[in-house]
Each structure stands twice: as C-alpha cells, then as structure tokens.
C-alpha cells in the first residue's frame, strides 16, 4: 500500500507539482479536487487514492478502483494564458497515460481513443475525466481525473460497456504501479508546457481506429458513420462520410 511519505518523496520534484494529497480510500478524487479548487488550492495540487469507491467517468459512468491495484488520481490545473481549450485536457491526459505505459512496459500496442480513453492490445485500460470550473466566462480551473487499471484480474473490473482489462492481465505479470504513476504525473505537466499543436499531432500518431470505419453516437443515438480521419486542432474528431463529406464533432462516443 502507498503512504503519504512514499508519494511525496516520489512526486515532489516533478516540475509543476505543488501539493500532494493521499487517501487510502475516498469516493472520487475529482470530487475532492474540485472542493480543494473552490477553497483556493493552487495549480499543481495532486490527489491520489489507493482505493476509490465512487469514481466517475463520462456520461455518469462508474470507474472501479480496487485497493492496492490501480491508479486513481486527479490533477488540479489553473490555466494561465494558454492555447489549450477545455476539450484538449482529456486528450492531454490520455496521451500522458499512453506515454507512461510505454515507458514502463515495452512491446504493447497502446492507443488513444478519442476523446478520453486509452486502449492496450484491444482492451480499455484507462479513462480520463476533465472537469472545468468557471469564474463567469473565465476558465478558473480544470480538474484532470485519471484512472488506470494496473494490476489484478479483468474480472475484478465488473461488467463494462467495452472490452476492459488490467495491465497485469494483458502482460501476464505484475506491473510497477508507482513507476506508472510517476511517469503519468510527469507527462501531464510536461505536456502542459508543450504547444497544443504538438499534443494533437502526438494523439493522431496513436489514434485508435484511425483510417477504419467508425460510428459516433450522442445520447445513445447514432449521428455519424464513416472513416475516422483525425483529431483536429480544436480537439474535435473528424469523420469522412461515405459520400466524401467531412464532419467534425466535439463530443460523442466512438465505436469501431
């Protein structure tokens, strides 16, 4: 099990990290991060839970984080003058997850699924939930919540809408959870200092289903079908229709 001392020692020297809050168990790291944001916590505050009992994904879905097996963390970000818009943060988080997995384990097929998942060898292993807080029309903060299924069996994840697994299940061996976390947090803050065009380019290099036929649904209703072309500079997904048209969407669920 992690401890506050272990995580502080591991993460405190990462550029951008200002505070580290560790919980053996909590409901949702994003909920805690938003409460801290509203209390004035600074940019670079990191919330980490060993067990998360009420983790949230997009569209009200749940995210399982059994004790001692996964990564459940949230980063509190306070944007200054930046070319990032709110849609970019989920992509940034997914890209940092992909990099962290590749840095820790070799030989895997790691893909970023628009807008907020990471798949490895055909299985979903990570989800990202970015939540924005506004002061009037000004973006006050972004909470970037990230969950990664690291160790344990696929069965412990329960029923899922997509094929899901843990890194241990995929690789056949226990994965160093702390090494993945360290690479993840480092990557997130590094990408915040990277031009958004570079982030989008890196996402497109690892984009799941690029060049394949996909459907896009919104509120469980299919709204588009065609060839997945790319993620655009704004963070939208671009789909080429069977008639040669080009459509862009800022939200939705892709299915390959």
Whether 147 and 177 share a structural domain: yes
pLDDT score of 156: 77
If we measure between CA atoms, which residue out of 249, 236, 26, 4 comes closest to residue 147? 26
Q: Which residue has the tokens 């690892």?
A: 206
How large is the greatest C-alpha to C-alpha distance in the chain, in angstroms?
58
Report the C-alpha gap between 245 and 144 in whole angstroms.
34
pLDDT score of 198: 96
Report the C-alpha gap between 108 and 99 in whole angstroms.
11
Task: Assess whether pLDDT exceeds 70 at residue 60.
Answer: no
Backbone angles phi, psi at 100, to 5 degrees: -65, -40
Q: Are strands 110-113 and 123-135 parallel, antiparallel or unpaired?
A: unpaired
pLDDT score of 86: 87
Q: Are strands 19-26 and 45-56 parallel, antiparallel or unpaired?
A: parallel
Instruction: Give pLDDT tens digits for 9-45.
Output: 999 999 999 999 999 999 999 999 999 999 999 999 9
Domain with 12, as residue range(s), is: 4-205
Whether 191 and 224 share a structural domain: no
Instruction: Give pLDDT tens digits for 71-83.
Output: 999 999 998 867 7
Rounded to two decimals, the pTM is 0.95
Alpha helices in the chain, H assignment, sequence order? 4-11, 29-38, 86-104, 167-171, 177-192, 196-205
CA distances to 44, 48, 132, 150, 191 from 14, rounded to whole Å, are: 10, 15, 23, 22, 13
Instruction: Give pLDDT tens digits for 90-137.
Output: 999 999 999 999 999 999 999 999 999 999 999 999 999 999 999 998
- Cβ neighbour number for residue 42 with a 10 Å cutoff: 12
Whether 115 and 236 share a structural domain: no
Whether 123 and 177 share a structural domain: yes
Task: Kindly provide the residue ranges of all beta strands, DSSP E only, lying in 27-158, ordered along the sequence.
Answer: 45-56, 62-65, 71-77, 110-113, 117-120, 123-135, 138-148
Q: Which residue has the tokens 């030989």?
A: 107
Q: How many domains, the chain?
A: 2
Whether 162 and 237 share a structural domain: no
Range 223-237 average pLDDT: 97
pLDDT score of 82: 72
Whether 187 and 65 share a structural domain: yes
For residue 141, give the CATH number of its domain: 3.30.930.10
Range 153-170 average pLDDT: 83
Cα–chain center distance at 224: 24
Q: Which residues of 217-232 are buried (b: 16+ CB within 10 A; e: fewer)?
A: eeeeeeebebebbbbe
Whether 180 and 66 share a structural domain: yes
């Amino acid at each position: 099990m992690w401890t506050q001392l272990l995580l502080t020692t591991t993460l405190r020297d990462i550029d951008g990290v200002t505070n580290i809050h560790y919980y053996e168990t909590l409901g949702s790291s994003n909920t805690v991060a938003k409460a801290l944001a509203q209390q004035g916590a600074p940019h670079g505050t990191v919330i980490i839970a060993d067990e998360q009992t009420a983790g949230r994904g997009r569209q009200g879905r749940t995210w399982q984080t059994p004790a001692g097996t996964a990564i459940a963390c949230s980063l509190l970000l306070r944007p200054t003058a930046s070319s990032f818009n709110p849609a970019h943060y989920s992509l940034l988080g997914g890209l940092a997850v992909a990099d962290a997995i590749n840095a820790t384990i070799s030989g895997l097929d790691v893909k970023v699924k628009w807008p907020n998942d990471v798949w490895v060898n055909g299985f979903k292993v990570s989800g990202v939930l970015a939540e924005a807080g506004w002061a009037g029309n000004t973006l006050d903060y972004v909470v970037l919540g990230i969950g990664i299924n690291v160790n344990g069996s696929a069965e412990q994840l329960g029923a899922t809408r997509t094929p899901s697994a843990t890194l241990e299940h995929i690789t056949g061996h226990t994965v160093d959870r702390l090494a993945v976390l360290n690479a993840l947090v480092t990557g997130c803050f590094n990408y915040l200092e990277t031009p958004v065009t570079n982030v989008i380019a890196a996402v497109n290099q690892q984009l799941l289903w690029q060049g394949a036929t996909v459907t896009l649904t919104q509120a469980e209703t299919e709204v588009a079908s065609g060839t997945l072309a790319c993620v655009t500079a704004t963070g939208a997904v671009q789909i080429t229709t069977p008639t040669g048209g080009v459509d862009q969407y800022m939200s939705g669920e892709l299915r390959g």
